[in-house]
Amino acid sequence: MVAGNINSFNDIRPLAGRILRWQVRIALVVAGAAGLLGGRSAGLSALAGGAIGVIANLYMTLKALKPAATPGGALGRIYMGQLVKVAITVGLFMAAARVRGLSWPALLIGYLSTLIVFWWVPFRAGSTDSGGH
C-alpha cells in the first residue's frame, strides 16, 4: 500500500507540470484573443490576469511537491502553500487595481482561464487513464 502511495506521488509531478504548461498556453491564447477583440489594454489586462493565476499556482506547486518527513508535515505544507497562494493572488489583484487603464473583465477572464485549466487538465488526464476519451 505504501508503494502505491509513493507511485501516486511520483505521478503527480508530471501532472503538475502539465497543468502549469497549459495554464501558460491558455493565458497567452486568452490574452491574444482579448487583444484582438478589445485592443492593447484588454490584451495586457488578460495577460496580467493569467499571470496572476500562473504565479500563484506555481508557488503552490513548488511548495506542495517538496518532500516532507511525515504525512502530517506534507499536509501542513499543502495548507500553508494554499494560504500563501491565496495571499499572492490577493496581493497581485491589489497591485493590478492600481494600474490605470486596466480592463477588469479581461483581467478576470485571463485569471479564470487559469482556474479552469487547473481543474480541466487533471479531469482530462483521469478520463484518459481510465480508458475514456
Domain range for residue 22?
Answer: 2-124
In this structure, are residues 23 and 50 in contact, taking their beta carbons and an 8 Å threshold?
yes
The number of folded domains in the chain is 1
Residue 68 located in a structural domain: yes
Q: Cα Rg for the chain, rounded, in angstroms?
A: 17
pLDDT tens sequence across 1-38: 334 444 455 568 888 899 999 999 999 999 999 999 99
In this structure, are residues 6 and 113 in contact, taking their beta carbons and an 8 Å threshold?
no
Strands (E), 1-133: none
Residue 132 located in a structural domain: no
Residue 133 located in a structural domain: no
The residue ranking higher by pLDDT, 4 or 128, is 128
The x, y and z cell numbers of residue 119, run together, are 481543474
The residue ranking higher by pLDDT, 108 or 70, is 108
Residue 119 located in a structural domain: yes
The answer to whether the predicted template modeling score (pTM) of the entire model surpasses 0.95 is no
